[in-house]
Amino acid sequence: MTFPLSTLKEDEYSELLDGIKDILKECYQVTEYEAMLVIHEGNEKTQELLKDYLPYIDSIHKTICGIRDTLENHMNLVFQEQELPNKMIYEAAAWHAFESVRCYYKSTVTTV
pLDDT tens by residue, 93-112:
999 999 999 999 999 988 87
Residue span of the structural domain in which 12 resides: 5-41
Cβ atoms of 67 and 105 closer than 8 Å: yes
Using alpha carbons only, give the angle 93, 94, 99 rounded to the nearest 5 degrees: 95
C-alpha to C-alpha distance for 90 and 96, rounded to whole angstroms: 10
- Please indicate, yes or no, whether the overall pTM of this predicted structure exceeds 0.85: no
Is 47 part of a structural domain of the chain?
A: no
Are 68 and 49 contacting, i.e. CB atoms less than 8 angstroms apart? no
What's the CA gap between 56 and 109, in Å, rounded? 12
Give, rounded to a whole angstrom, the gap between the first and last alpha carbons of the chain.
24
Q: How many domains does the chain have?
A: 2
| Model pLDDT, residue 5 | 58
Please write the tens of the pLDDT for every residue from 22-76.
Answer: 999 999 999 999 999 999 999 899 989 999 999 998 898 999 999 999 999 999 9
In this structure, the answer to whether residues 71 and 105 fall within a common structural domain is yes
